Every structure is written in structure tokens, then in C-alpha cells.
Amino acid sequence: MTQRLLILGGTREAADLAAAAVERFAERLDVVTSLAGRLAPSQILPGRLRVGGFGGAAALADYLGAERIDAVIDATHPFAKTMSGQAAAACETAGVPRLALVRPPWRQRPGDDWRLVHGAAQAAAILPAIARRVFLTTGPGSVGAFAGLERIWFLVRRFEPANGPLPLAGYEIVVARPPFSEAGERALMERHRIDTLVTKQSGGATEAKLAAARELGIPVVMIERPPPPPGPFVATVEDAIAWLEASGLARA
């Protein structure tokens, strides 16, 4: 009998998982990926797609029942803590097994100068003492935290163009999507005379900027992750597939 997997997506790992699950289980597993829908997907998503919020944890629990979801893998971004919390609550309510696929954080290497902070407000608070020209790669949701810093100029990277002006005194926007090369990141930072990089501790494939900062000898203001969701988690797509196999889902 076909069983149904819901992947909470929005990350490269979620797309890779959808591809691996479709390939591994074929018609034995109906793979549905859910996206919040704020950005156009940057990868092809094998399986089915649903787009938009569920309307909170209780509504997600209803969805799991109505759609007869047999398992959920939360492969959202490590900073998508509202969605992860709601998924945990909804799966518990609906009695649906859940696994979190959490990409490993980046690790400091010799030569790195990381300033660890909790949240964008703390990042903004330490900038005046160390920075004049900042490369800001924290995503659209946190730009407002840097609004009061009138003596600092920002190079703001976005995956999609901004809808209107940003609340920053001086800035330029660069629109680009991964992959980013080390040489490209270094050239970008040199061209704009960047003296500080601000990033979330996202982990994953966008770490070339960290190597470039190391080479240029500039500090990195690293916004630490929120706590991970409760319950079981794995770090790789392969381990998520192994969990599906071990759970007896999509048994031949």
C-alpha cells in the first residue's frame, strides 16, 4: 500500500531528500514537499508540491489527518524555528512520526575571527565598535535590526530583489543565489572594501564567504542558531532515508 511522506522544505537538503525518497521508494511512497512560498524554488522538486502556511500547529495537525500523512520529515532551515515547533506539536497531536533533518553547523577553523552573538539585535549592537563596511547575508527578515546604524555602510545580499527601499542609511543590494565560490566571495568583499561579515550560523553550502573572510583577515559576526526542535534528528539525507526504511514505511 502506498504511504505518504510530508517533507517540510525550503532548503537544498529538503529538495535532495525529495529526490532521494522518490528514487529509493518509487510508487511505494507518495512524497509531498511543503514550501512556505516566499521564494520561488531554486531546485526541481521531485514528488508533489504544496505551497503556503498551514495556519498554525492545530491546522497542521488537521492537515496531517485529512491528507493521511504517515510520516513527517522537518527539513526546514535551522532558523525556521516557528515552523519546526509547530511541526513537533502537530505531529504529537496527530500521532504521526516525525524526524528533523538538521544540517550541521559550520565549524571555526584556524585563522577565523568569529564573534558569536544571539540574534540580529545583538549583532547590530556590536557592529559600531568593529565595523564601517559590512557584508550582510542574514536574509530579508533581519535587516530591520540594523536600521539605526547610520555610520555603517552595508552590502546586502538577497536571493531575490527587494520590494522597496531597505531601512538602512547607506547600502547596496547584490542579488545572487548559491553556489558561491571562494574566489568570487573574496573579490566581492575586496571590491566593496568590506571590513566585517555578518551571517547566520546556517551551515551548508554557502560557507565560501567564511573562507574569504578568513583569507582577508576580517571578523565574522556569527548569529547562533535557535535551539533545534525536540525529538529525533539526523544530519544527512542518507540518514533520513535510513530512518524511513527503519520505520517500516514504504515497505515492499
Q: Which residues bind ligand NAP (CB under 6 A)?
A: 8-11, 34-36, 38, 53-56, 60, 76-77, 79-83, 86, 139, 200
Instruction: Provide, rounded to whole angstroms, the least separation between the CB of residue 84 and ligand NAP.
Output: 6
Instruction: Provide, rounded to whole angstroms, the least separation between the CB of residue 88 and ligand NAP.
Output: 12
DSSP letter, residue 103? P
Give the up-direction half-sphere exposure of residue 227: CA atoms within 13 A in the CB hemisphere: 4
Instruction: Provide, rounded to whole angstroms, the least separation between the CB of residue 139 and ligand NAP.
Output: 5
Instruction: Provide, rounded to whole angstroms, the least separation between the CB of residue 103 and ligand NAP.
Output: 11
DSSP string, 178-204: S---HHHHHHHHHHTT--EEEEE---S
Instruction: Provide, rounded to whole angstroms, the least separation between the CB of residue 23 and ligand NAP.
Output: 21
Residue 79 or 130 with smaller CB distance to ligand NAP: 79
26: left (phi over 0), alpha (psi -120 to 50) or beta: left
Residue 3 or 76 with smaller CB distance to ligand NAP: 76
Residue 19 or 36 with smaller CB distance to ligand NAP: 36
Quote the cell numbers at residue 82: 516557528
Q: Compute the CA torsion angle 70, 75, 79, 84 (nearest 10 deg).
A: 10
Residue 34 or 196 with smaller CB distance to ligand NAP: 34
d(C-alpha 72, C-alpha 248), whole Å: 14
Instruction: Provide, rounded to whole angstroms, the least separation between the CB of residue 251 and ligand NAP.
Output: 27
Residue 11 or 196 with smaller CB distance to ligand NAP: 11
Contact between residue 195 and residue 62 where contact means Cβ atoms under 8 Å apart: no
Q: Which residues in 167-189 are b (16+ Cβ under 10 Å) and which e?
A: ebeebebeeeeeebeeeebbebb
Residue 201 or 247 with smaller CB distance to ligand NAP: 201
Using CB positions, name the residue nearest to ligand NAP.
Answer: 53
